[in-house]
Each structure stands twice: as structure tokens, then as C-alpha cells.
Copies of this chain bind each other. A is one copy, B any other.
């Protein structure tokens, strides 16, 4: 593997679940990398040229070649540094199950940062899409307390599905991936600071030891894992960004 981990760069945003999963995956593999913080409201030339199609973080640049889309990057990392601990399981069926649940997390839970993209594109577009957001974005951008409660219920139902999936995938072990952090762990665990931010902002408890006890215990193990240390940020940063995004959404709503 000598030389393989030369020249690895990650363009990210410190609160982005999508950037966080890439960074933890690199840590699992023991790959050292340069981390570059992006300003989502004022993107760098490097980001715009590295991901010209979506213009969003994360981007992994390895040996000068850019790769976008967080789960695509995580799989790339797993394949390039194949000799280090695996992120995806070895068995094709187990891999399919992990890919299924990771996609489920992205479609139903970790949706907050999609909205940033929508807003950056056009406030009108954002406004039109407002009703559509599932998961955490729905909670953050709800227009009324009633809508917020409904979106929180939806997200809790998704997490109840994931609680069941955890029981099936982990089989009594510490993580979805078994004894160490795997693909689904990365997908879901990269959102924990947003769960806490939504609790602080609105009193919405998405990770509830009463409703999803396995996930509540799993979350503690996730943030304490060696590979996650220093990557999962304090919820305060998400609270601040959440407030900023809410204000922009309200302004877009009024302008539309």
C-alpha cells in the first residue's frame, strides 16, 4: 500500500454528515489526508472545478483525481485501501443489505444538507420543495409546530426501522458492521450532532432511549470510537448553522 495514501485531500464542511463519513472511513483505513474546510455560501474554485456537476461537498481528491458523492467515496476508499479493516462486509448478500440501509438513511434521515444545495440554487426552488423534505430537513424547515411534530414522527418511524435493522445486522455486536464501524454505521452515525442540534433547537428527541434503546446505546459507542474522534463535531456548530438556514428559508418563503 505504500504510496497509495500519498496526496489525499478531502473538501468538506465540518457539520456535513456526508463529509464526516468520508473522513471517518479514511481514519478506519489509517490513511492520512489533508482536510480543507469549505464555505458553503462561498465555494472555492477547487470545489467548483472538482465537482462541476453538483458543486457540493464532500469531494475526495486522490492523486489529483476527484471523486464525489459520499457513499461513492466511502466505497472507493474501501476498495483502494482494501487490506486495512473493511467498511463493507465481505459477503455479497451482507454487502447488499448494508447498501440498502445506507440508502435508506440518506432518503429518510440525513437530509439537512440537501436543503443547502436547494437554497444555493434558487430561493424559489427551495420554497417549492419545502413540503417535500423528509427526515431531519423536514424537522428543521417546518413552517408550523404541527408540521414539525409530523416530520419528527416520520423521522422517528424511520429510526424505528433502523432499530430493527440494527438488531438484524449487528446480531448482538457493537455496530451495524459487527465489531467495528461499517458502512451503515458511517451513514447514520455521521448525523448524530444534527440529532442533538434538533433537540436543542426544538426539543425534538430523535434518538430516544425509550423508543430505540439499541440505537441510543450504539450512538454512544459510535462517537467514542477511535476513528470518529475529532470528526463528529459538537452539536453547537450544527445549532448555529441550523438557525442560519432557518432564517434563509423564512426569507425565501417571504420573497416567493
Contact = CB atoms under 8 A, between A and B. Distances in A.
Question: How many copies of the shown chain assemble into the complex?
Answer: 2
Interface string A125-169: 000110110000000000000000000000000000100000000
A65 B95 CA distance: 13
Contacts of A62: 93
A214 B67 CA distance: 24
A83 interface: no
A129 B67 CA distance: 31
A75 interface: yes
Given A92-B80, A93-B76, A67 B100 contact: yes
Interface of A: 53, 62, 65, 67-69, 72-73, 75-76, 79-80, 92-93, 95-97, 99-100, 103-104, 128-129, 131-132, 161
Nearest to A51: B100
A108 to B, nearest CB: 10
Given A69-B99, A79-B95, 17 more contacts: A65-B93, A67-B93, A67-B96, A67-B100, A68-B100, A69-B100, A72-B96, A72-B103, A75-B95, A75-B99, A76-B92, A76-B93, A76-B96, A128-B131, A128-B132, A129-B132, A132-B132
Contacts of A128: 131-132
A100 B100 CA distance: 17
25 contacts: A53-B161, A67-B93, A67-B96, A67-B97, A67-B100, A68-B100, A69-B99, A69-B100, A69-B103, A72-B99, A72-B100, A72-B103, A75-B95, A75-B96, A75-B99, A76-B92, A76-B93, A76-B96, A79-B92, A79-B95, A128-B131, A129-B131, A129-B132, A131-B132, A132-B132
